[in-house]
Amino acid sequence: MIKKYMKTICVQGLGYVGSATIAALSNASDINGNPLYNIIGIDINSKDGLERISNINKGIFPFGSQDKSLSKAILKGKKEKRIFATTEISYFDRADVIVINIPLDITWDTKEPYINFKKFKNAIYDIGNNMRENALIIVETTVPPGTCEKVVLPILLECFNSRGLNIDGLLLAHSYERVMPGPDYLDSIINYWRVFAGYNKRASDVCEKFLSSFINVKDYPLKKLSSLTASETSKVIENSYRAVNIAFMEEWGLFAESVGLNSFEIIDAIRMRPTHNNIRRPGLGVGGYCLIKDPLFGLLSSKQLYETEELAFPMSQLGININSNMPNNNLNRLNLYVGGLKGKRVLVLGATYRSEVDDVRNSPSEVLCRGLDKMGASWDIHDPFVDSFENLNKDFLQEIPAANKYDILILTVDHNFYKEFDFLDWVEGTKIIIMDTNNILTEELCKALVSKNFRLLITGRGDLK
């Protein structure tokens, strides 16, 4: 299937980032509109891996998304016979560029969290043992700073040496994704700023040329950093900054709740100041794949890669702890408000870790539901984007049932579907208690509900009686 006159890109890891990268590469074209690349997606022989491979081979984007341009791009590549996916690692030998989008997880079930590099290292061996000289390798996986130089490079050098390849043909770069699954999923790759660094000048130049072939660098110029470690660090700081910012506002949300303030009113006022316009808001908590782990990468880098134990990263650690407590804080507040959750029938609206995505990884709603179980409440859950929590063996409601089946409604995710839902009409004739953990109900609706004597509990607000 490979078109010989086109360059071939291998994408290792076909998850939320890798699959979207394939879509972006499929759309890349020269000035005459001719497609630039053959793309080979490589994943592992697991349930998820095989499902993703099978979808891509059918021309389907493997995740539910409102952004239909992803499926369109993959279908285009498939119809033009330029895209396929496989578990066969020998295909790395076809690649001019290899993009790494596999996970690197933290192990939590030990005394101290740590990173087991074993699977990640094996994946790098898969590449090193099969790739050609002069193929560019770009690590996009979020890694503890120092990973490229201290883990990836030595493996590749070992493979090159054992295979008798020329070390001058080893081109390693790091460039991280800022992809945002949601309505602008594909756009967040193509029309967005990108940071990169190469191991040496040649790697950096080849990486710059490759990124410029599918990113709109005219409007979103690339930012080149001086080393692989600088680029890795930049990504980790970005995500740590966001996680700590959320944790910081959590404590002010609790303050507002306890002294009768509306923290959203205050935050809107602060956001008018340009230096503070990205201050976060209180909510249900932090989920997804990245923000719950990346803030620990500084600490784990200094411990495991640089062995400088004295760097404790207290703020990042505290941020992670505060954020992980948020679902239970919400639940405890609700428990007090309703005089005990035992025996209560609860409807939860929203399961994903953020709005307009189908991703339930580390979902705060799941933590909330586990807490409801512990407190003796029964619960049903609905989400317009997902059908089940696999971990909880719980099927979701397909539609929002009548309000009179429940004592309590908890709104958790600000999907547009809920923002547009007519809650005033839905609650009519019931005594349902409403908790909004994500600022989903408009001020007007809150006032209307309060005027009709509904009991309303809003995360970050203590002003509604």
The two structure tokens encoding residue 243: 């996680």
Shortest gap between Cβ of 50 and ligand NAD (angstroms)?
9
- Considering the rule CB under 6 A, would residue 43 count as an interface residue with ligand NAD? yes
Q: Which secondary structure element, helix H or strand E, spans residue 315, and what is its range?
A: helix 314-337
Q: Choose, by CB under 6 A, the member of 8, 142, 240, 355 that binds ligand NAD.
A: 142
- Considering the rule CB under 6 A, would residue 300 count as an interface residue with ligand NAD? no
Whole-angstrom Cα distance, residue 356 to residue 186? 14
Write the single-letter amino acid at 338: V
The stretch near ligand NAD (CB under 6 A) out of 10-18, 68-76, 216-224, 342-350 is 10-18
Shortest gap between Cβ of 217 and ligand NAD (angstroms)?
19
Q: Choose, by CB under 6 A, the member of 152, 206, 247, 290 that binds ligand NAD.
A: 290
Q: Choose, by CB under 6 A, the member of 130, 141, 365, 437 that binds ligand NAD.
A: 141
Alpha-carbon Rg of the chain, whole angstroms? 24
Shortest gap between Cβ of 55 and ligand NAD (angstroms)?
11
- Considering the rule CB under 6 A, would residue 16 count as an interface residue with ligand NAD? yes
Q: Choose, by CB under 6 A, the member of 28, 52, 243, 427 that binds ligand NAD.
A: 52
- Closer to ligand NAD by Cβ: residue 55 or 459: 55
* Half-sphere exposure at residue 215, Cβ-oriented, CA atoms within 13 angstroms: 25
- Considering the rule CB under 6 A, would residue 55 count as an interface residue with ligand NAD? no
The two structure tokens encoding residue 5: 């006159």
- Considering the rule CB under 6 A, would residue 102 count as an interface residue with ligand NAD? yes
Instruction: Write the burial class of residue 422 (CB in 10 Å: 0-12 exposed, 13-18 middle, 19+ buried).
Output: exposed
Write the single-letter amino acid at 132: R
- Considering the rule CB under 6 A, would residue 123 count as an interface residue with ligand NAD? yes
Residue 283 sits at the vertex; the CA angle it makes with 300 and 239, to the nearest 5 degrees, is 30
Whole-angstrom Cα distance, residue 449 to residue 423? 9
Q: Is the dihedral of CA 339, 342, 345, 346 positive or negative?
A: positive
The two structure tokens encoding residue 355: 């709005």
- Considering the rule CB under 6 A, would residue 182 count as an interface residue with ligand NAD? no
Shortest gap between Cβ of 88 and ligand NAD (angstroms)?
11
Whole-angstrom Cα distance, residue 350 to residue 363? 10
- Considering the rule CB under 6 A, would residue 44 count as an interface residue with ligand NAD? yes
- Considering the rule CB under 6 A, would residue 144 count as an interface residue with ligand NAD? no
8 A C-beta contact, residue 12 and residue 102:
yes
- Closer to ligand NAD by Cβ: residue 46 or 278: 46
- Considering the rule CB under 6 A, would residue 97 count as an interface residue with ligand NAD? no
Whole-angstrom Cα distance, residue 377 to residue 392? 15
- Residues 365 to 404 in contact with ligand NAD, rule: CB under 6 A: none
Whole-angstrom Cα distance, residue 231 to residue 44? 27
- Considering the rule CB under 6 A, would residue 177 count as an interface residue with ligand NAD? yes
- Considering the rule CB under 6 A, would residue 18 count as an interface residue with ligand NAD? yes
List residues near ligand NAD by CB under 6 A.
Answer: 12-18, 42-44, 46, 48-49, 52, 101-104, 123, 141-142, 177, 179, 181, 289-290
